[in-house]
Structure 1
Amino acid sequence: MAPIFDGNLRHFSEKPGGLKVDDFYGDTVANYFISHAHTDHFEGLKEFQDILRDRSNDSVIYCTKETGELIMSRVGYKREILSNKFRYKAVGERFSLRHRENGVSDTTVEFARANHLPGAVMMLFKDKHYKALYTGDFRFESYERSEVTNEMKSFLENTTDIDILYLDITCLDLLGERKGDKNKFPCKRIILEEIADMVSTLTENSDSSERSNDEDECNSEDRPDSEGFDSEGSGVGGPDSYKNVHVDCSALGWQEVAKHLADQFDSSLGICPKDPKKKLHQCIVELLSGDVKIETPHKSFVHNSNGADCKYCTDRTIRIKPSLKWLFYELEGYSYKQSTWIREKDPVEEPGFFNVLYSLHSSHYELQQFMKLLNLSRKAEIFPISRPLGENIEGMSNNEVRSKTKELFKKW
């Protein structure tokens, strides 16, 4: 099935010189934008490098420095080409686009925080006729009292009369068929605390971690409930059963879980020297706040790799896979723990293997709060840039998804 978003922004991509967002296929344009460093948001760039190598090509690529560094840390993306084409812009910086014929366009752009990956941004495009907001992938933790959330709220409250909205709807309950706990899951901080609690319970390190229990960091009125992890009756062994932790980091961003555990347990972070994504793992860990020493896995209490299978794992390793899909798809063989957000895959066949809900996307509830704060013009148009997760969504066409999204937002 074709992607639901093709990189073109209504009105703005039609102007002389053109622009494309998160897509490098099709005709060459003057201005490209990358919202963040997940590969589905710069599709075609690897092949496009051959065009960029040509000195006659005058295209430029706008993104944050963090995004550029993460992309150039991936295999196949050539620093000697891309570093000359990237134009790094900071969050909050407003800049004008180039116009191939007249030098400067009347289109201005501003980046805003997206709370997704390091360097991920939303983008506000403006000219004298229209305003378009492209969210990219984002997490709006509306109930979290943090600097990032406050900054996002301030941006939304001060951005008025948006005419065109391109929105990440990955966790949208498009068909209204989910239970409440699937539409309102906790912020990343709370999930990280639950994971640390679980690891502390299942290892000898139960007294080595100091975790925040400051309830005031979240707005108690709309914060999702979180009961924490309790191993009693969970099918796992006692506190001496496990000796180390492995985090599946096959998706960029899950390194946040590994780094948090390394911080909490005063451990170095193990990365396999032969991991094909070693440079990428190291780059994102360096971009995350704090300072963690990188070691080989056998020297570290916490290690991560590009996938669930790792030769450094033993039967005394807690294996953690951050995921969203198990929340929205019915998977056989999974049993709920006391924490709604942590599942042990199979206590008998695969003891110590846990799926945890760690979302870099806004929940359905958070999307509702986002839309309430957003100041749309009276005739605003809304376009999804992603397809929602869910088994019943898979058979729907892109046009059906767009239509039902517009119907749902009218009700909001």
Structure 2
Amino acid sequence: MRLIHTSDWHLGQTLHGQDRDYEHAQFLAWLLDQLIVHQPDALLIAGDIFDTVNPPLKAQERLYDFIVRAHEKLPQLDIVMIAGNHDSGGRIELPGPLMRRLNTHAIGRISWLADHQLDHGRLLVPLHDARGQVAGWCLALPFLRPAEVTGGETGEDYMAGIRHVHQHLIAAAEAQRQPGQALIAMSHAHMAGGAVSEDSERNIVIGNAEALPASLFPEPVAYVALGHLHKPQKVAGQERIRYSGSPLPLSFGEINYPHQVLLVSFDGDQLSRIESLPVPRAVAMIRIGRAPLAEVISQLEALPPVGLFTENLPWLEVRVQLDEPQPDLRQRIEVALAGKACRLVRIASEYAGKRGEADSEVLLGLDQITPQELFARAWEEQFGNPPDEQALDDFASLLQSVEFASEGDGK
């Protein structure tokens, strides 16, 4: 059996207000070609399919058109997708009855039966080989919100609830599988030790229970297909526990990531090979600076001119170090860019002496500051000291409640 593991499409995402539908369309067309060339038995999409819980219509059309076209080209292909923290679980599951006719399974949230038993049946998806035989089982674990993992128990903390869900689902899968059938877990979570893109990945659980241990996936699980972290990476040095990473950079901080999907092969119930399939970049991203204004202007003037074709020019971020305010900063940058083959989407500036050397490594605009960071800065400005752990936990709980309520209202 072979499968393709991908995640974090973030359909509908904009880059500082600029539409990225062309890039998403190009990626999906490329992915369809990879399915045709490599003929995998399954496609796993490990969450954050959309960028928001209420994605634009075009983003939804992209997803469902891709599923239809993939089924037309590969009628036996099993597609399994889970909701990430950016997704609405209800929205992901809504067209489920229709998608099942296309061999597509969408799992948006977990549910519980009587006596606090996990409804594991809906989380176990059979994966078929080219002969139509069950060759493995996908243990589909969507993003687990604190209110969901306790199953109604009071006083049960988040990590205990997480362990409960994993242990019960893995036990159910081991009881159901036949000899030679592989167990493949798919989860959207932040695993301990994972490298995070500060520009575009939000914290997804409250308090200090942010990172989950690799021990949640014991050896009987042949492969773990992860989503959430945008940089491709192994977890705890284990070949079998992987983030595929996002297929395109979601911020300028990710322009050097090796964007890919993973082609994963199994020999019976054992992992046999993992191959990276690099995703071609439909639109380039250029980051100039951080540097003094004169140096930045010089680099901008050295950019190539617009050629015969003006569509899909590279995105450009400019970062400038200033000694004093420059009221005409944007004008000077735009003059230097006249006739250049790029699209300016962001200017970031900082003043010399305002930050320490270590802090200057990160240059953030308001659009790139997480709510937690904004809260911490406001607290320190008001009270003169950083917020303590209790204040951070209280704010995180409040933020989680607001996001969960917004999802429920579809806002």
Of Structure 1 and Structure 2, the greater helix share is in 2
TM over 0.5: no
Bigger RCO of structures 1 and 2 (CA < 8 A, at least 6 apart): 1
